[in-house]
């Protein structure tokens, strides 16, 4: 049981960081007029790659003219 506690404490920081990144990506996506929920879910899978994609994508225009 003691080894499980050590393993869990080592991995906890990873999961907290990954979860924080998903929230940041959702906010970044909404700032670019994209779906925050979709990018939140993509970030759970892709993580930092989703952040890179979001940064490189242009902002979606709401009006044509």
Query: Which tokens in the block code for residue 14?
Result: 């990873």
Give the mean pLDDT of 23-32.
94
Number of Cβ within 10 Å of residue 50's Cβ equals: 22
Using one digit for the tens of pLDDT, what is the confidence trace for 35-45? 999 999 999 99
Using one digit for the tens of pLDDT, what is the confidence trace for 45-57? 999 999 999 999 9
Q: Over 90: is that where the pLDDT of 62 sits?
A: no
pTM of the model: 0.78
Dihedral class, residue 33 (left if φ above 0, else alpha if ψ from -120 to 50, else beta): left
Q: Over 90: is that where the pLDDT of 30 sits?
A: yes
């Amino acid at each position: 049981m003691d080894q499980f506690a050590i393993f869990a404490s080592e991995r906890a920081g990873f999961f907290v960081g990954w979860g924080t990144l998903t929230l940041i990506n959702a906010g970044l996506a909404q700032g670019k007029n994209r779906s925050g929920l979709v990018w939140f879910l993509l970030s759970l899978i892709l993580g930092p790659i989703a952040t890179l994609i979001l940064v490189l994508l242009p902002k979606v225009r709401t009006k044509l003219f």
